[in-house]
Amino acid sequence: MPHAIVEWTDNLEKDGFQVRGLLQLINAEMRAAGDAFPTGGIRVRAIKLTDYVVADGEDDYAFVNITFKIGKGRSEDFKKEFFTALFERVKAYFAEIYARRYLALSLYFEELESPNWKQNNIHAKFKKAN
């Protein structure tokens, strides 16, 4: 944990959308937040959607939804500041495409309740590096 899942409509490909760049942006922002998101636990992934209906289904609408799953423990101030700033970066990333086509952008986060189960030996690499 934390995980970020980007869902995006495949019709954005013709507009030059580069999903890898968006994933790297999100990952970099999470790592820049210091101890708030331990590097070894960060997962950023994308799901390209090929089946969807948006709004009235009558136009070539597109959307990108980013959902974060995080554990409890971060302050309300941190969450508000981090996710607001990240959403501004996401909007800037899409500014050119947004100006040319119908596009809906959204970002949500969920705080997961305990218990949850996980095993991860990636953390050890980053603990040794510090």
Q: What is the pLDDT of residues 59-115, one digit of tens each?
A: 999 999 999 999 998 999 999 999 999 999 999 999 999 999 999 999 999 998 877
Number of domains in the chain: 1
Q: What is the pLDDT of residues 36-64, one digit of tens each?
A: 999 999 999 999 999 999 999 999 999 99
The whole-angstrom separation of Cα 41 and Cα 121 is 10
The catalytic position among 1, 2, 32, 36 is: 2
Q: What ranges make up the beta strands (E) of the chain?
A: 3-9, 43-49, 62-71, 103-112
Nearest to 105 by CA among 17, 24, 32: 17
pLDDT-derived band at 120 (thresholds 50, 70, 90) equals: confident
Whether the full predicted model's pTM is greater than 0.95, yes or no, is no
Nearest to 62 by CA among 107, 13, 95, 96: 13
- What is the residue range of 8's domain? 3-129
- 38 belongs to the catalytic site: no
* CATH code assigned at 96: 3.30.429.10
> Please, are residues 62 and 10 in contact by the beta-carbon 8 Å criterion?
no
